[in-house]
Structure 1
Amino acid sequence: MRMSVIGCGYLGAVHAAAMASIGHDVIGIDVDEDKIATLSSGAAPFFEPRLSELLQAGRASGRLRFSSRMEDAAGATVHFIAVGTPQLPGGHAADLRFVDAAVDALLPHLRPGDVVAGKSTVPVGTAERLAARLATTGTTLVWNPEFLREGWAVHDTLTPDRLVVGVPAGPSGDLAADVLREAYSSAIDAGVPFLVTDLATAELVKGAANAFLATKISFINAMAEIAEAAGADVTLLADALGHDTRIGRRYLGAGIGFGGGCLPKDIRAFAARAEELGRGEAVGFLREVDAINLRRRDRAVQIVVDALGGLVFGRRIAVLGAAFKPFSDDIRDSPALDVAVRLRGLGADVIVTDPAALDNAAALHPQLGYERQRDDALRDADAVVVVTEWDEYRRDLSPIHAAGLVRRRIIIDGRNCLDAEAWRAAGWDYRGMGRR
């Protein structure tokens, strides 16, 4: 099938490369000439495992091309809209300018029978509004939300846990659903559920999924606050809760909280849209979910201050991690960098290291110190703070344990990802987030 992907940022580039890898003829469109040049060369403009390999394979096969000209999308059977929907400045609602601009630019190049599939995360009601504009061309709009995890985006695109397609009622919607079935036939043949809904439900699925995930993370972080006050261990608590099949252990990891370019802004936009619909009270709890999440960053800083006896000024603090999560170079709303900046504001000499996100971090926060090698960041440190749980910080501990590398053996486990007993046995003052 010939398809276009409008918007070649994180979502669009991965989607285009993945679709080409399963045999489709894909053209990716973006207004950023530099990004198009990078992608066309077979290189990824951001860090995502396996993406570069897919880009190079797609380029070599001739099934994957990139362009800055919207007219090159003409002739595709399905057009995926994968542009960003950032948070509006000064508010919580989603900024839909890029979605509207993509549709406006695509309209002259559509044919009767084409399918436009929205993948961007949008407030419920957006699809209905856009469908009316596209109907004048004989084009059917469907909504096909994405559920990608950064660091696992290629895997999640090729082997998703479900596919959701919202379609309009009537024959055109049925035909459009069949087009998407064909587009995703390899995944469907492998047993991935294919769920057909109305447009509004498909839009709500993404927001509801993120709201639930954020709530689960903030719930266990709230329990961490209680555990700390009561002298309990939140990790053992989470283990016990996780054995309940109604709850499950996944995403019950207490720590510094969530960040990134999706979850924080998506739950705020979800709540803002609920307010517009006159049902803000239904998701009022999301304000507390957000507040708990931000409070964890405050707590991480306080743990560092307490560990250093309240004397932070001039102390060298090694911060392990800059990306908001491992296997990514994304620093948007990164809890790791937020903590580093706050410590720097208290007068500490902060040195940040990260396997993938260091250049992005240095461009955004030049006032911090940076070292590419972990051991260089650790050298002469008065305290070590683990804030992004990269495998090399969780597992390869010998250089950190080694005598003489750091000035003081204080480690703050902002992700509760380390073996507390092992660190204490090695002579470290280990401090977790709600752990004994």
Structure 2
Amino acid sequence: MLKTILLAGALAAGIPAAQAQSVSEASVRGHASYLAGEALRGRGSATPDEAAAAAYVAAAFRGYGLQTAPGMTGYTQTAEVVSLKLGSPAVFTVNGAVVADPLLFSSSGKDVRGTLSVYAGEPAAASAAIVLASPADGNGLRFAGSVDPSKVKLVIIRANAEVRDYYAKIGGAPRLPRTFKGEPARPRPTILALPDAAFDALARQDGAAVALELPGLVEQVSTTTNAIGYLPGTDPKAGVILLSAHLDHLGLRPDGKMMYGANDDASGTVAVLELAKALAGKKHRRGILFVAYGSEEIGGFGSRWFGAHPPVPLDQIAANIEFEMIGAQDPKLPAGDMMMTGYERSNLGETLKAHGALLAADPYPDEHFFQRSDNYSLALKGIVAHTISGWAVVPTYHTPEDTFANLDTGFMTRAIQSLIVPVRWLADSSFRPDWKPGGRPEEK
């Protein structure tokens, strides 16, 4: 069936069928095994390991014959990121008594002191500076992520199994403010999770004096790296297509476990590499930018820096296709298909599917995946930008088990192959995708 689809798409595009079959599983395995291997130690965001991964991707772009992007003298783009680190564990007190085993989930980077408000309403209506959250649905993380940070400075939630599991998935360490050098930090509430006994005891102390102290905060400056290759087009007025993925992951956790990030997102980076190799053989009407972003895992820094310092004007980017977690087949989707986040928001997905791409709508709308990947920062700027994924809720997500051995490289190979003809058609056509009514996201 796949061969028939590829052949039909190739003939429709006027491309010899042999060119549609240009992705080998051996090549896919080679790239993925290195990117997710021991040598790169999980490609931690804004680390030398991330930079090494970017250098590998940049070397491949150069080897495929891609040029440096307009205005750039090399194949990498860097930015400085300022991070705060805890010098010693956070200290939480209630009426002057220290509470044992607080789990600092995230922080504004400032000490917090004040009067406790025990609150069971909706997060949007919370207005006290310090809130102990008892939402009706029991989802403290949802509550904490929905408060107004200009009003609520500290949210205390229950450290249930879901919270502890998610804490491990974000790297097993608190998330403290990170900014580009020279920029102010974004407002954010501090989130603290307490064990059941401590949480229940505090829930009976509305009006208590509480304090969270962050001793020994240290400011660190690190560098994040994007890898960028460029295939110029033949028609300067036709615009550019952007094919992207993020190359970083969580690196080494504080407990010493390595977070390999094979599916997330070595697999997507492999897709960009393989498409670069397949498409670089000839010029197309549109130019094509191939980008592997750094520091997605700590706040989308690579894509945000690219969007603020693009090598071509953003209004020249006709479409952005991001690849993330294409290393496994989703059991909810037809065999071989990948999902496109925000599929219903524009006419890009349905058009690529009509030209042979194995795409389907996102079966997890409640997860809001469209807003959770690097495509979103460009979508907010008006570019039709979507992410293509395999199994977005794969059990190995953000665990040490996200390894090369757990990739389905056969599925990856077939999926990438299905995209070559449609993307080649997009690069050679005059079709420019549009948002459907209400589909374009807006800055809040």
Normalising by structure 1, what TM-score?
A: 0.27
The structure in which a higher percent of residues are helix is 1
Task: Name whichever structure is richer in strand by fraction.
Answer: 2
**Which fold has the larger relative contact order, with Cα–Cα distance below 8 Å and residues 6 or more apart in sequence?**
2
